Chain A
Amino acid sequence: MAAPGGDMQWCFSQVKGAIDDDVAEADIISTVEFNHTGELLATGDKGGRVVIFQQEIENKSLPQFRSEYNVYSTFQSHEPEFDYLKSLEIEEKINKIRWLPQKNAAQFLLSTNDKTIKLWKISERDKRPDGYNLKEDDGRYKDPNSITSLRVPVLIPMDLMVEASPRRVFANAHTYHINSVSVNSDHETYLSADDLRVNLWHLEITDRSFNIVDIKPANMEELTEVITAAEFHPHQCNTFVYSSSKGIIRLCDMRESALCDRHTKLFEEPEDPSNRSFFSEIISSISDVKFSHSGRYMMTRDYLSVKIWDLNMENRPVETYQVHEYLRSKLCSLYENDCIFDKFECCWNGNDSVVMTGSYNNFFRMFDRSQRRDVMLEASRENSKPMQVLKPRKVCAGGKRKKDEISVDSLDFNKKILHTAWHPQDNIIAVATTNNLYIFQDKVN
Chain B
Amino acid sequence: MSFATAMEVNVEARRILAVSISKLYASRSQRGGLRLHRSLLLSMVMRSARDIYHSSRESEQPNGEQPATEEPMDTNCDPKEKARLTPDLADTSADMAPGVSDKLDESDCDITEDKENLSPAKQSRKRRGKASAAPDFLPSKRARLEPGEERYAAPVGSCRAGVGDYRSALTLNQVIPAF
- Please give the residue numbers on chain A whose beta carbons come within 8 Å of chain B beta carbons, in ascending order: 83, 86, 88-91, 93, 114, 176-177, 195-196, 214-226, 228, 244-245, 257-259, 261-262, 278-282, 285, 332, 335-336, 338, 341
Contact = CB atoms under 8 A, between A and B. Distances in A.
Nearest to A195: B36
B158 to A, nearest CB: 19
Interface string B10-26: 00110010010001000
Nearest to A90: B32
A214 B104 contact: no
B116 A258 contact: yes
7 contacts: A88-B33, A114-B32, A196-B36, A219-B129, A224-B104, A257-B116, A281-B45
A223 B115 contact: no
B167 interface: no
Contacts of B125: 216, 218
Contacts of B129: 219, 221
- Residue from A83, A86, A219, A262 with most neighbouring chain B CB atoms (10 Å): A219
B44 A261 contact: no
Given A221-B129, A278-B49, A226 B33 contact: no
B45 A222 contact: no
A341 B38 contact: yes
A252 to B, nearest CB: 13
Contacts of B116: 257-259
A228 B37 contact: yes
A341 B40 CA distance: 11
A332 B125 CA distance: 36
B175 to A, nearest CB: 16
A222 B104 contact: yes
Contacts of A335: 16, 19, 45
A89 B79 contact: no
B107 A217 contact: yes
A215 B108 CA distance: 10
A341 B107 CA distance: 24
Nearest to A86: B33
A86 B28 CA distance: 13
B178 to A, nearest CB: 13
Contact of B37 (A214, A226, A257, A332): A226
Given A222-B107, A223-B36, 16 more contacts: A83-B33, A88-B32, A89-B33, A177-B32, A177-B33, A177-B36, A217-B109, A219-B128, A220-B127, A224-B40, A278-B16, A281-B41, A281-B45, A281-B48, A282-B45, A338-B23
B83 interface: yes
Contact of B19 (A216, A219, A225, A336): A336
Contacts of B38: 341
A214 B116 CA distance: 11
B41 A282 contact: yes
Nearest to A179: B37
A259 B128 CA distance: 24
Contacts of B12: 332
Contact of B41 (A86, A219, A245, A257): A245
A335 B15 CA distance: 12
Contacts of B107: 217, 222, 224
B40 to A, nearest CB: 6
A195 B115 contact: no
Contacts of A280: 48
A223 B45 contact: no
Contact of B44 (A86, A222, A282): A282
A91 B109 CA distance: 29
B173 interface: no
B115 A259 contact: yes
A223 B79 contact: yes
A225 to B, nearest CB: 5
A372 B49 CA distance: 39
B36 A176 contact: yes
6 interchain residue pairs of minimum CB distance: A222-B107, A88-B33, A221-B83, A91-B32, A220-B79, A195-B36
